[in-house]
């Protein structure tokens, strides 16, 4: 068998319509022949259930009969990208890569910008198979794609996701022990070797749990360098409701909890790097737009510092929201639909160690979640966001609920449904990202825990607090306030009035957005903002305008990029 092993993630495989006498395979990310062989065997055994190794990898194989099969690790959030191309003789070729740029640069035919993707991305809609390019498509992680003919779309079969995860059944101590064991095994595999350890840290439950797991397995000779975002000290930020603008001080308590094994570093945008510049820089690397330009500033800064340390990967806890600390508010409806009154009763009694009465517990665990979808129809933040960015009224579903059922939770857990996951391709990062909460074994375990189990104790996100007992510092584990990132964005952009007003005018010249988004109201809002002042407009207004402008800039840049590539092809 011919194999190609690519660790640098810069290779695109091309498969012809002529069957090969030998089976040929390409593996991205594998570090040795043993893991390469394991991943190839995994493809050949499809669709037998079973999880392959948990690290960032992708693999594809063309059998002797011409059938092509490909898949990507659940830890490779971007999945795989593919395109059907034709050479000068008209013969079809199948291109498969780990980033859209890999595929586009190998195409012999023109590539065009997908305007529908642009508008859906701005509105936050699902587009799991789409990319910004009409001729390039995506296979989400955790899915087998099989091309019986390379000039047709593939058949898809899940090996990690809602269709293969059975009904939840794990409860009690067995569920907690299993979760901790699987998470620790995943961490142990990821830190093999002697490269310096680096992780993002927010001070919240998810990233703190990751840093704690790392610290428990290392020594002062190889400390965990944990990087936490902190706002500019001159931004004069204050808490809003249950949210704090700065988590760095509470994150520093990790150092006291693990002396010598955790070193916390603050990341502050002292150079006032602009969010629009950070977003465009990331988009040039990934060929995919940036959803949160303000966050991109400190994310890149953390990656740069981790790379300068010599770290081979940067740890993250992004998927912890789904796989570790989600509230599972759909539980009451889930059990009612199945007539499981016994499970509803368990939900009410899942308040160990608290002073909440049974009546209060019933209201909080059962009645509240049941009526919240009805309430959210008249108080939908997604609707307000769409109005703010000028999405046409006809495209705003004012009756759509924010409620998530069990199926929606599983789709979110599997990471396969959203455009944001598609942005996490390796080309977009300065070094590989490792999120243990995306390991296929961790995902399957989270899916197997019964919904009411997650509703522990008197606090929100109770199961995560229970899992962190004896591990995460109690000041962090029991904290109920939330931390925000990039709240200092207004301070950073407050002297950029002319740039922002000019960029707003360019939205109407941006492919995909011209004629679709009405920026007139946003233009009026921006003109009235207190430019130059420390205290600015609402956070959501700043986020909305940054997201719109960065997406418009991406569309213009990409259109120019594709035109240049297509012109070269024509010559």
CATH number at residue 245: 3.40.50.620
CA atoms of 79 and 438, how far apart (whole Å): 12
- Segment 478-484 mean pLDDT: 86
pLDDT the model gives residue 365: 61
Mean pLDDT in residue range 292-296: 92
How many Cβ atoms from other residues are within 10 Å of residue 87's Cβ?
12
Q: Do 218 and 336 have their domain in common?
A: no
3-state SS, 251-273, equals HCHHHHHCCCCEEEEEECCCCCC
- Within a domain: residue 426? yes
Instruction: Look at residue 471 and tell me if it is in a domain.
Output: yes
15 has a pLDDT exceeding 50:
no
Number of H helices, E strands in the chain: 24, 17
The yes-or-no verdict on residue 1 having pLDDT over 80 is: no
Residue range 422-434: mean pLDDT, rounded:
79
Q: What is the mean pLDDT of residues 537-560?
A: 93
User: 96-120: per-residue pLDDT in tens?
Assistant: 999 899 899 999 999 999 999 998 8
Confidence grade of residue 342 (pLDDT, cut at 50, 70, 90) = confident
Q: How confident is the model at residue 455 (pLDDT cuts 50, 70, 90)?
A: confident
Report pLDDT for 18.
Answer: 42
Contact in structure between 47 and 144 (CB atoms under 8 Å): yes
**Angstrom distance (rounded) from CA 111 to CA 559:** 10
Spatial CA neighbour of 445 closest among 209, 79, 57, 181: 181
How high is the pLDDT of residue 402?
A: 43
| Confidence class for position 529, pLDDT limits 50, 70, 90 | very high
Q: Residue 434: its pLDDT value, please? A: 93
Q: What is the DSSP letter of 492?
A: H
Each residue of 362-386: pLDDT tens digit?
655 665 565 555 444 545 556 777 7
The residues, ordered by sequence, that sit 6+ positions from 235 with a Cβ below 8 Å of its Cβ are 245, 487, 488, 490, 491, 534
Asked if residues 192 and 163 have their Cβ atoms less than 8 Å apart, the reply is no
Within-domain flag for 163: no
CB atoms within 10 A of CB 189: 13
pLDDT at 272: 96
Which of 483, 513, 546 is a domain's end point? Answer: 483
Distant-in-sequence, close-in-space partners of 245: CB < 8 Å, separation ≥ 6: 231, 235, 237, 238, 239, 483, 484, 487, 488
Q: Is residue 462 part of a domain?
A: yes
Q: Which carries the bigger pLDDT value, residue 356 or residue 167?
A: 167
What is residue 394's predicted lDDT score, i.e. its pLDDT?
A: 62
Looking at per-residue pLDDT, the higher value among 343 and 277 belongs to 277
Confidence band for 22, pLDDT divided at 50, 70 and 90:
low
Is 70 part of any domain?
Answer: yes
Residues 385 and 467 in one domain: no
pLDDT band (50, 70, 90) for residue 27: confident
Residues 40 and 118 in one domain: yes
Same domain, residue pair 148 and 190:
no
As beta bridge partners, residue 64 has none
Domain check: are 149 and 180 in the same one?
no
Q: What angle do CA 301, 304, 308 make, to 5 degrees?
A: 140
Confidence at 147, pLDDT banded by 50, 70, 90: very high
Distance CA 564, CA 566 (A): 6
**Entry field: residues in the chain:** 571
**Residue 309: exposed, middle, or buried by beta-carbon count in 10 A (0-12, 13-18, 19+)?**
middle
pLDDT band at 354 (very low <50, low <70, confident <90, very high): low
Q: Range of 291's domain? A: 172-324+410-483
Q: Collapsing DSSP states into helix, strand and coil, what is residue 27? A: strand
- pLDDT of the residue at 400: 44
Residues forming a β-bridge with 267: 229
Residues 48, 91, single domain; the answer is: yes
Q: Under a CB-based contact definition with an 8 Å cutoff, are residues 182 and 445 in contact?
A: yes
Residue where one domain finishes, among candidates 341, 364, 395: 395
Q: Which of 48-62, 140-154, 338-352, 485-499 has the lowest mean pLDDT?
A: 338-352
- Dihedral (C-alpha) 96, 99, 100, 103: value to the nearest 10 degrees? -40
With respect to residue 488, please indicate whether it lies within any of the assigned structural domains. no
**Which of 8-17, 191-200, 291-300, 390-399 has the least mean pLDDT?**
8-17
C-alpha to C-alpha distances, 444 to 45, 501, 515, nearest whole angstrom: 20, 48, 44
Q: What pLDDT digit, counting tens, does each position of 45-61 carry?
A: 765 666 788 888 999 98
Q: Which of 158, 188, 216 is the last residue of a domain?
A: 158
365/376 Cα distance (integer angstroms): 17
C-alpha span between 536 and 173 (Å, rounded): 49
Q: Count of domains in the chain? A: 4
Q: What is the pTM for the complete model shown?
A: 0.89
- Same domain as 344, residue 203: no
Instruction: Show the CA angle centred on residue 183, arms to residues 180 and 186, nearest 5°.
Output: 150
The 10s digit of each residue's pLDDT in 189-247 is 999 999 999 999 988 899 999 999 999 999 999 999 999 999 999 998 988 888 888 98
- pLDDT (0 to 100) of residue 275: 97
Is the residue at 489 inside a domain? no
Outline where 194-319 has alpha helix (H).
205-216, 248-251, 253-257, 275-286, 293-309
In 401-531, beta strands by DSSP E: 433-434, 482-483
Question: Do 374 and 440 belong to one domain?
Answer: no
Structure-model confidence comparison of residues 510 and 405, the more confident one: 510
302 with 423, same domain: the answer is yes
Are 277 and 416 in the same domain?
yes
Confidence of residue 308 (pLDDT cuts 50, 70, 90): very high
DSSP 8-state class, residue 80: E
Instruction: State the pLDDT at residue 427.
Output: 79
- Give the pLDDT confidence score for residue 288 in this predicted structure: 92
- Of 12-16, 38-42, 131-135, 136-140, minimum mean pLDDT range: 12-16
Percent of the chain at pLDDT exceeding 90? 52
Regarding whether 519 and 558 lie in a shared domain, the answer is: yes
Structural domain includes residue 403:
no
366 and 391 housed in the same domain: yes
């Amino acid at each position: 068998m011919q194999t190609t092993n690519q660790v640098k993630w810069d290779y695109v495989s091309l498969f012809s319509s002529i069957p090969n006498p030998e089976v040929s395979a390409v593996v991205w990310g594998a570090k040795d022949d043993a893991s390469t062989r394991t991943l190839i065997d995994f493809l050949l055994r499809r669709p037998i259930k079973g999880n392959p190794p948990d690290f960032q990898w992708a693999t594809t194989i063309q059998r002797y009969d011409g059938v092509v099969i490909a898949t990507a690790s659940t830890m490779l959030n971007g999945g795989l990208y593919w395109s059907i191309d034709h050479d000068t003789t008209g013969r079809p070729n199948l291109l498969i890569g780990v980033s859209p740029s890999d595929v586009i640069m190998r195409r012999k035919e023109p590539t065009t910008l997908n305007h529908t993707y642009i508008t859906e991305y701005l509105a936050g809609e699902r587009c799991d198979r789409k990319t910004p390019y009409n001729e390039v498509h995506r296979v989400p992680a955790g899915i087998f794609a099989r091309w019986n003919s390379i000039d047709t779309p593939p058949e898809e079969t899940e090996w990690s996701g809602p269709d293969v995860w059975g009904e939840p059944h794990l409860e009690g101590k067995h569920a907690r022990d299993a979760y901790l064991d699987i998470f620790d095994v995943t961490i142990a595999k990821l830190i093999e070797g002697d490269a310096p350890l680096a992780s993002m840290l927010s001070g919240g439950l998810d990233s703190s749990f990751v840093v704690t797991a790392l610290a428990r397995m290392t020594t002062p000779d190889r400390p965990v360098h944990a990087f936490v975002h902190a706002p500019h000290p001159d931004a004069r930020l204050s808490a809003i409701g249950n949210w704090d603008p700065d988590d760095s001080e509470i994150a520093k308590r990790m150092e006291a909890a693990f002396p010598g094994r955790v070193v916390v570093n603050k990341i502050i945008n002292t150079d006032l790097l602009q969010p629009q510049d950070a977003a465009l820089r990331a988009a040039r690397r990934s060929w995919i737009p940036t959803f949160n330009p303000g966050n991109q500033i400190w994310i890149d800064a953390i990656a740069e510092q981790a790379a300068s340390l010599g770290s081979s990967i940067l740890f993250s806890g992004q998927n912890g929201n789904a796989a570790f600390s989600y509230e599972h508010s759909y539980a009451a409806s889930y059990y009612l639909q199945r007539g499981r009154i016994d499970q509803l009763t368990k939900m009410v009694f899942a308040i160990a160690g608290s002073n909440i009465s049974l009546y209060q517990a019933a209201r909080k665990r059962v009645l509240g979640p049941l009526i919240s979808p009805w309430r959210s129809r008249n108080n939908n933040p997604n609707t307000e966001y769409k109005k703010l960015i000028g999405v046409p009224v006809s495209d705003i579903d004012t009756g759509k609920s924010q409620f998530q059922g069990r199926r929606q939770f599983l789709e979110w857990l599997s990471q396969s449904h959203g455009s944001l996951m598609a942005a996490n391709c390796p080309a977009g990062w300065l070094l590989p990202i490792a999120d243990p909460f995306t390991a296929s074994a961790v995902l399957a375990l989270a899916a197997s825990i019964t919904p009411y189990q997650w509703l522990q104790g008197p606090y929100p996100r109770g199961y995560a607090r229970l899992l962190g007992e004896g591990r995460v510092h109690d000041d962090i584990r029991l904290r109920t306030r939330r931390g925000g990132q990039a709240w200092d964005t207004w301070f950073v952009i407050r002297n950029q009035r002319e740039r922002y007003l000019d960029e707003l005018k360019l939205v109407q010249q941006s492919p995909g957005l011209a004629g679709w988004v009405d920026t007139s109201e946003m233009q009026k809002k921006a003109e009235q903002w207190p430019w130059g002042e420390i205290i600015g407009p609402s956070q959501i207004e700043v986020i909305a305008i940054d997201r719109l402008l960065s997406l418009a800039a991406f569309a213009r840049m990409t259109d120019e990029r594709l035109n240049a590539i297509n012109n070269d092809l024509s010559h």
